[in-house]
Amino acid sequence: MINPYLPKPAKILKIERQTPDIFNYTFAYAKKSDTADFSFMHGQFLMLGLNGFGEAPFDICSASVQTKTFDLAIRNVGLLTKEIHKRKVGDTVFIRGPFGNGLPAKNYSERDLLLIGGGSGFIVIRSFVLDYLAGKLPVNKLNVFYGCYDEQNLIFCQEFSSWKKKIDLDISLASGGKNWKGTRGVVTNLFNNEQDFTNTVCLVIGPPVMYKFVIEELQKKGVSDGDIYLSLERRMYCGVGVCQHCAIGPYYVCKDGPIFSWEQLKNIPGAI
């Protein structure tokens, strides 16, 4: 039986700077037996800890079909993440998980999938894209909307040229520079009258302030509440539903989510 409280050592194999405050880390478990047992669903998360600095949840952003290593894109926003950003290739961290419920493939299989990411919420979307590029995501078509502040804060932008060969990637910048030729403003500006989302499942991940407006746009397009999924990852704390910090209505976000349908959440006050 796997002990969910027992952290496993993992080594940093690679570090790539994504933005001024986000680095993408590639890890591998120190023990081969831990690697053999590792698998995850899109939208699940891992708890990463450092001795003396605690632990926190981070989204897995690598391909689910490649589990000998795994990626976590980590923003420097506090004591723990500041220490993580000091670590180098070869250093050891401690991992628990994966935890939570992601978005099962059966929920979007043989349909179109629209992924909408805002800010660092875009991190989760990369795992879907990588599986799609590998021919392992069972969808008819993949569309990606990305809302970001400016060019220097675009995550994974060095990969976009390869992504665009197979997927529709649309980006809106709130503060694009004078050379930015794409859409400007909030992410909902990426919706237009030419789009057909009648056979589409949508996953929205980003700051809660954007959820209400994105949901309204999707509903105008005829997407049902049961086909709109949201991530409430910002509410997570312990990862296993013990501390109850993530309780919302009848759900614990870290156990029952972080991915929920709007059908599940729409009647819960304060859900978004």
3-state helix, strand, coil in the chain (%, to 5): 25, 35, 40
Instruction: Tell me the C-alpha to C-alpha distance, in Å, between residue 150 and each of 2, 125, 198.
Output: 43, 18, 31
Q: What burial letters (b/e) apply to 79-115, b meaning 16+ CB within 10 Å? A: ebbebbbebeeeeebbbbbbbbbbbebebbeeebbbb
What pLDDT, on a 0 to 100 scale, did the predictor assign at position 96? Answer: 94
**Residue ranges of domains in the chain:** 8-99, 105-265
Q: Architecture of 105-265 per CATH?
A: 3-Layer(aba) Sandwich (3.40)
Q: Architecture of 8-99 per CATH?
A: Beta Barrel (2.40)
State the distance between the two ends of the chain, measured CA to CA, in whole angstroms.
35
Q: What burial letters (b/e) apply to 30-39, b meaning 16+ CB within 10 Å? A: eeeeebeebe
Amino acid at 134: A
- The Cα 20–Cα 237 span in angstroms is 25
The continuous run of DSSP H or E covering 124 comes out as: none
What pLDDT, on a 0 to 100 scale, did the predictor assign at position 248? Answer: 87
Q: Is 205 helix (H, G, I), strand (E, B) or coil?
A: strand
**Per-residue pLDDT reduced to its tens digit, 139-192:** 999 999 999 999 999 999 999 999 999 999 999 999 988 889 999 999 999 999
Q: Mean pLDDT throughout 258-268?
A: 95
Using pLDDT thresholds of 50, 70 and 90, give the confidence band for residue 1. Answer: low
96 in Cβ contact with 115 (< 8 Å): no
Contacts with 31 (C-beta within 8 Å, 6 or more apart), sequence order: 8, 9
Is there a common fold for 8-99 and 105-265?
no
Mean pLDDT, the chain, as a whole number?
A: 93
254 in Cβ contact with 246 (< 8 Å): yes
What pLDDT, on a 0 to 100 scale, did the predictor assign at position 69? Answer: 96
Q: Is 195 helix (H, G, I), strand (E, B) or coil?
A: coil
